[in-house]
Structure 1
Amino acid sequence: AWEAYNEPVADTPDKMKRLADFEAERTRLLAEAGIRSVVGNFATGHPPLELWPHFAPALDAVRQYGGFLGLHEYSAPIMQFGFGALQPDNGADQGDEGWLTVRYRKAYRHYLSPMGYGDTPLLITECGIDGMIGNRPGPPDARGWKDFVNTWLANGLRNDPPGVYMDQLIWYDSQLQQDDYVRGAAIFVAGASPGWEPYDILGRTAELLQQYLQVHPQPAS
């Protein structure tokens, strides 16, 4: 399946409508060539939830041509930050939803399902730890998971950074498995280009991931 723009900024009704029309036409054209489309691919914490109704044309095309909705979900210093009770500034407990990771449930429960799109297949096209989210604990200049190791140690997590990160990925997978419309998720990144090395999972983290997937085979979508 093919994506279009990475993390488009659609923060007004007009921008969301124009993006939806573009994505709908792109999905139609790709379908003519026998290619499935992934629409959206919004950044973590985006789009503003109240703008989802303006994305309906793209969701209609996904339904008609067998495509997917794509979202990115990151948090930091751990993937659970912003989920449930673990909120910045003692914010309200979000239950089994989040503002960053597992934010997709807010979109589906409160917008897409009431609109009639609750069965839209979802791909988490990027996920993991990304320090570029705002209003979070930890070093201000930290980016990928490797940059947060000292923060993890200072907060009592064990001295096994790949294992600690894998624990968080397992937690996230356990959430995804609860929602049958979620068809898959891609961890960023395996084989980092220059500048993205703190995100790289190659090495022991990838080995642990392979072991996990061997023991917990993913259901066919």
Structure 2
Amino acid sequence: FVECTQVMWEPKDAETGLWYSEFLCELLPRLAKLGPRPIVLNCGVGGLPIKPEQLAAMAPGLRLAWHLGGAWGCHGYTLKYTKDLQVESYHSLRYRRAYDYYREFCPELLGFPMILLEGGVDDVGDENKSGWLARGTLDQYTDWLAWYDSELMKDDQVLGVTLFKIGAPTIWKSFELEPVVPWLREHWQKAYGREKPGN
């Protein structure tokens, strides 16, 4: 059973943003007849459009995606473990810049859900050199994750982040989350008062 399907793209200007919006308006009603809800954009780190002309051009397609029970997605990575909100507003918290625009010009989109489909620490996407294991310590990473979680909790429209990655230890080694699992469990218990999700 497929509940959601991704419709990925990163419009680079107003013209391609308008094209993407028109594409969504054609595709999404057909997709809805098949059952899955859309997750649109799904941009990589630093790829979510934030220029006003891009966001204005995409608004009709985003409205339709929300009307059909969907969400939009992007990646939420820090490049350098910073907790500087200005810096992170271009990276792990980039979605806030888009919502800031919609707050003023398209307030009807303020509740449109955001899913951070990947997140963590990345630099240039090198599977062996860009992840937290290659560029920091466990304490450094968990400290940043605790801060990031506290920031995400301030934004009701954010449904969550999927930390990248766990399992398949021979690939994307510098991103491996296995050493972080004990901290994640403890953080979950302290922050949310439950043994694990679903209990």
Scaled by the length of structure 2, the TM-score of the pair is 0.82
Mapping 1:74-89, distance limit 5 Å: 74-80=77-83, 83-84=84-85, 87=87
Amino acid at match of 2:71: F
Q: Is the 8 Å Cα contact of residues 99 and 110 (structure 2) preserved in structure 1? A: yes
Residues 66-91 of structure 1 deviation map (CA, whole Å, 9 limit, x = unaligned) = 100111121222153xx336x5xxxx
1:142 aligns with 2:117: no
1:164 aligns with 2:134: no
Amino acid at match of 2:161: A
Corresponding residue SS for 1:110 = helix
1:200 aligns to what? 176
Q: Is the 8 Å Cα contact of residues 36 and 67 (structure 1) preserved in structure 2? A: yes
More helix by share: 2
CA distance in 2, matches of 1:34, 1:189: 28
Gaps in structure 2 of 5+ consecutive residues = none
2:38 aligns to what? 37
Q: CA RMSD in A?
A: 2.5
CA distance in 1, matches of 2:85, 2:144: 14
Return 175-184 or 29-38, whichever deviates more. Answer: 29-38
Amino acid at match of 1:120: F
Amino acid at match of 2:56: P
Q: Is the 8 Å Cα contact of residues 163 and 208 (structure 1) preserved in structure 2? A: no
More strand by share: 2
CA distance in 1, matches of 2:175, 2:82: 13
| Structure 1 residue 19: Cα displacement | 1.9
1:107 aligns with 2:74: no
CA distance in 2, matches of 1:209, 1:79: 20
Q: Are residues 179 and 113 of structure 1, via their aligned partners in 2, closer, same or farther at CA, if it must alter by over 3 Å?
A: farther
| Structure 1 residue 122: Cα displacement | 0.9
Q: Are residues 67 and 48 of structure 1, via their aligned partners in 2, closer, same or farther at CA, if it must alter by over 3 Å?
A: closer
State the identity as a percent.
27
Gaps in structure 1 of 5+ consecutive residues = 88-96, 134-140, 150-160
CA distance in 2, matches of 1:179, 1:167: 20
Scaled by the length of structure 1, the TM-score of the pair is 0.74
Amino acid at match of 1:175: E
1:47 aligns to what? 48
Corresponding residue SS for 1:216 = helix
2:20 aligns to what? 19
Give the counterpart of 1:59 among 42, 52, 62. 62
| Structure 1 residue 187: Cα displacement | 0.8
| Structure 1 residue 194: Cα displacement | 4.4
How many residues align? The count is 187
